[in-house]
Amino acid sequence: MEINAALVKELRDRSGAPMMDCKTALVESKGDLEQAHKLLRQKGQATAAKRAAKTTSEGAVGAYIHGGGRIGVLVEVNCETDFVARTADFQQLLKDIAMHIAASEPRFVDRDEVTEAVLLDEKEIYRQQARATGKPDPVVEKIVAGKMEKFYQEFCLMEQPFVRDPNLTVKDVIGAIIAKCGENIRVKRFTRFVLGQDDPRRVAGATTR
């Protein structure tokens, strides 16, 4: 079917994917913008999975200052080559992730970074809350599991809704750039400073990799 340039551009603006990939996705979805966007996200996730084992020894450190100097973020994002680290797409991703961290207050990069001590503490809090309602133990454990998923989505950077587009997670956004550049990209670590406050990552016992 014929896909007009305006629709391709709209999908390109939303997804960040190359123009030809956008056109192909729109053809496959018969012009359905939402379905095309979903196809591009799936492609990004598939490419990311293939590249996940590749060494990421290059990259850059990004910074973001907000609120007249009251909030500051430093984040290290790694990729495979210095060439990709210097591209406009990677640099924009670096800025977007730093801005997202400033706005969304993640405590961990992903769920693998959450320490055992934090997991045990959170689970026990949720368990006591559920038991206080009189629910039987099997139901209590299901409630705890559900609350832990929400915990990951709230505090793990990769699972948070992206601040510029809540329909995407940060992982989706990174996956789209991986699909575009053909290299593995990962957030290694970050620090979020708030004037007068302690670092909640250190308080929670989080680690950096």
pLDDT in tens, the chain (209 residues): 667 888 888 877 777 677 778 888 888 888 888 888 888 777 776 666 666 667 678 999 999 999 889 999 999 999 999 999 999 999 999 999 999 999 999 999 999 999 999 999 999 999 999 999 888 888 999 999 999 999 999 999 999 999 999 988 999 899 888 888 888 899 999 999 999 887 655 544 444 44
Distance between CA atoms of residues 149 and 69, nearest Å: 33
Is pTM, for the whole model, over 0.75? no
Q: For the chain, what's the residue count? A: 209
> Which of 1.10.10.10, 1.20.210.10, 1.10.8.10, 1.10.3730.10 is the CATH number of 1-51?
1.10.8.10
Q: How many other CB atoms are found less than 10 A from the CB of residue 60?
A: 16
Q: How far is CA 184 from CA 52, 56, 76, 187, in A?
A: 6, 7, 14, 10
pLDDT tens, residue by residue, 15-72:
767 777 888 888 888 888 888 888 877 777 666 666 666 767 899 999 999 988 999 9
- 57-114+156-209 has CATH 3.30.479.20 classification: yes
